[in-house]
A and B are shown apart, each in its own frame.
Chain A
Amino acid sequence: MLRSLKGLLCRPLKDRGFALHTAAKDRVSSLLTQDVQTAPERPRAVFYTNENDPANHAEQHEGRLYSIPLDELKTVFPHGLPYRFQQQIKTFNEACVMVRKPALELFTYLRNTNFAHPAVRYVIYGERGTGKTMTLCHLVHYCARQGWLVLHVPDAHLWVKNCRELLQSSYNKERLDQPLQASSWLKNFKTSNERFLKEIKTQKQYMWGRRDRTEAGRPLAEVVEQGLARVRNASDAVGVVLKELKQQSRLGPFRLLVAVDGVNALWGRTTLKKEDKSPVAPEELTLVHNLRKMLMNDWSGGAAVTTLSQTGALFKPSSAYLPQELLGKEGFDALDPFVPIPVPNYSPREFESCYQYYLQRKWLQHEKAHTEAGKEELRFLSGSNPRQLDRLAGPL
């Protein structure tokens, strides 16, 4: 059923012509010039690939690992990588990501999108620990290399739970602001997209409170600065940024990628409470409201890729992983139509390469782990689930 839906959506896009963006290609050169891996020479096993540009990843690279240079990591992923993966990067001193089929699918879709049409929404879903966030990160890296403007929300669940400060929004009396979350997001956004912020100009005048304002035609960086300086206005700054980007992506020289992890948080329930102990609905939060508007398909010139996540989800059973279950009726209707991308557990080949990677990095120290029997045992016990394998390999 899902396949046919994808087919229906893909074909019209493909038929309208392939979009080879020469503009995007030019961007590549202006980006960080080091495309070549400057790792020390050592014999790379079969499961590695030297192709470090995700744009060139094709089916022959499926199941292999490619590494991201560490300084690129800081700019492209100031936030957004899973915590365990960050620890692994620190341990191994390199960031190796596996090339998997869902990511390659997404690359083909993105390459063939017609940017004159409304933005297509993709929903990556799958069971717990199968690699949805990593797929999203792979995609973000690809788009960053291609020169897109990446709006990466690492975990939307952080915005609906564990929030200490809730301020009443100055812009709209009914809504609530979250200054801390907004300011941290703005900071990371700035790190990843600095050069864009200088080039994009605001189209309207914005008033911050009674005294400050930003004129039309000023670079967006100023809005971001305003948000960072005045933490009270951070959420509104985020809203402004989102609105501007939405309007300008259609005409502007850049492509916009909206990458949201844990999108089911936007339509679920929150654990936040107002001062009178009444629960807060997600629409009452400024950040959530603005992000929802962003995910509507009324803008063009980019794509929106989202991930469902049960791990941080509130009030949802742990066996739920399908879009219908996690998004709820409201979310499903809001995101409909979307392209669902399922992410399965490791295939035998992918499992093999992950196992070889751990062996090669001397992560598996147990003497039995090197044997064939040990590999079978790991495969059985982890059920070829990436997260389980990672957790199992830890103590070994």
Chain B
Amino acid sequence: MDGPRALASPSLCGQGTVAAGMAVAVGRVLQLGSRWGAAAPGVQTLRLICTTTARQRKNVGASGPEKYTEAFIKNQIEEFNLGKRHLANMMGEDPETFTQEDIDKAIAYLFPSGLFDKKARPMMKHPTEIFPEQRKIQWGEDGRPFHFLFYTGKQSYYSLMHETYEKLLNAQKYQDQLIAQDLPPQKKKRNLAGSRWLTKIELEEMLLEKLSDNDYSRFILLLEKLMTLPCGDTEEKYVQKFSKEVPVQLQKVVIEPLKYDERGVAFSTGEGGRKTARATAVVYDNGTGKITVNGIDILHYFPVLQDREQLLFPFQFLDRVGKHDMVCTVSGGGRSAQAGAIRLASAKALRSFVTEKEVEFMRQAGLLTPDPRVKERKKPGQEGARRKFTWKKR
């Protein structure tokens, strides 16, 4: 049984088809075992039964009884490490210093795939990343559950609420103590903007248990209440387990300062793209509104009014229509795409000339956002991306 499995190491396959099948089979065998009352956790015989693939997206650990045994996981880990060493040998690298990144690169090299979905491509990861965490068997040999809240049905959730409430009571007691001692209550600053609570799915992953929306909101309310009180250090650490950092602003975009060319005229560059067109624009100060594209005047390059209006938009928005000169280069795309690309490039270049407030206005006007629309793929069985073949009744 192990022989054929070692050759086709399941952690090497595409996401979980065979492995999950076998896992479900394991689960089935295990269930049979526990009903018969003879199976002890950890010792299983495995029979390969053709089963359906498990659904990978949902939190498998929380949805039912154990599907992967501990021994199975341990086996997988051993096989993974062995496979890692084999792979390092194959690639001619040192097995000791073969990191996960190297593994990814090697797999991408050995099994090139053109599939769009990254999760569908062959991957080799540590089994703990592939097999989701499982809840261990929660009752002993005699059938008696380990946890005292087992019969509530949501033991981890209620125990969590219990702990949190305990912390809350402690904090209240601490506050009372402070008041009794006539000390001013400490107000500690909490960075409210920089953190957020765990989402429901993240909490479920943490507890390995399904939650309802109501449960989740009650927990969050409790945490908020805890937050309002002056907490000591232990409470602080406890609460931090349930909050996540959120970067204040997604990477503040750096606006480049103005450069000066030989004549002493200030200029700045910007790049932009739309569909397949790519453009670079150099905007000069103290100009008359002359614009050159690929060495040609815009009146000749864009005979259509619509394209020229697109080029006009950033300047008009900032009320700087006749004040700048621009030299652009553009390639690729069609007439409209090139106009859109130059528009984005010139807007980006104009950021250096303008105050931050106006940059924010530009961003809100949509001048600084690259248009993500590209041509949709044609599907087989259809004439175009959306158009179907003519429907014939017979």
Chain A contact residues, CB within 8 Å of chain B: 127, 319, 373, 376-377, 379-381, 383, 385, 388, 392
Contacts and interface: CB of A to CB of B under 8 A. Distances in A.
Interface string B299-320: 1100001001100100110010
Main secondary structure of the interface of A (DSSP, over half): helix
A380 B289 contact: yes
A377 B316 contact: yes
B325 to A, nearest CB: 12
A381 B322 contact: no
Given A373-B321, A392-B305, A380 B312 contact: yes
B297 interface: yes
Contacts of B316: 373, 376-377, 380
Contacts of A380: 289, 308, 312, 315-316, 321-322
B298 interface: yes
Interface residues of B, number: 14
Contact of B299 (A373, A376, A377, A385): A385
24 contacts: A127-B300, A373-B316, A373-B321, A376-B321, A376-B322, A377-B312, A377-B316, A377-B321, A379-B289, A379-B321, A379-B322, A380-B289, A380-B312, A380-B315, A380-B316, A380-B321, A380-B322, A381-B305, A381-B308, A381-B309, A381-B312, A383-B299, A383-B308, A385-B299
Contacts of B305: 381, 392
Interface string B279-311: 000000000010000000111100001001100
Contacts of A383: 297-299, 308
Contacts of A376: 289, 316, 321-322
A377 B305 CA distance: 12
Nearest to B297: A383
Q: Which of B289, B298, B299, B322 has the most CB atoms of chain A within a 10 A radius of its CB?
A: B299
A216 to B, nearest CB: 55
Contacts of B321: 373, 376-377, 379-380
Given A373-B321, A392-B305, A319 B312 contact: no
Nearest to B298: A383
B275 to A, nearest CB: 24
Main secondary structure of the interface of B (DSSP, over half): helix
Nearest to B308: A381
B74 to A, nearest CB: 72
A184 B316 CA distance: 50
A370 to B, nearest CB: 16
A392 B308 CA distance: 12
B312 A373 contact: no
Nearest to A383: B299
Nearest to B316: A377
A379 B298 CA distance: 13
Nearest to A391: B305
A392 B297 CA distance: 18
Given A377-B312, A381-B309, A385-B299, 17 more contacts: A319-B300, A373-B316, A373-B319, A376-B289, A376-B316, A376-B322, A377-B321, A379-B321, A380-B289, A380-B308, A380-B312, A380-B315, A380-B322, A383-B297, A383-B308, A388-B299, A392-B305
A376 B322 CA distance: 7
A302 B384 CA distance: 67
Contacts of A377: 312, 316, 321
Nearest to A348: B288
A224 B312 CA distance: 55
A373 B297 CA distance: 22
Contacts of A381: 305, 308-309, 312
Q: Which of A373, A376, A379, A388 has the most CB atoms of chain B within a 10 A radius of its CB?
A: A376
Contacts of A379: 289, 321-322
- 10 closest residue pairs by CB, A with B: A383-B299, A376-B321, A376-B322, A380-B312, A381-B308, A380-B321, A380-B289, A385-B299, A377-B316, A381-B312
A380 B298 CA distance: 10
B343 to A, nearest CB: 13
Contacts of B300: 127, 319
Contacts of A373: 316, 319, 321
A388 B298 CA distance: 13
A11 to B, nearest CB: 34
A160 B357 CA distance: 61
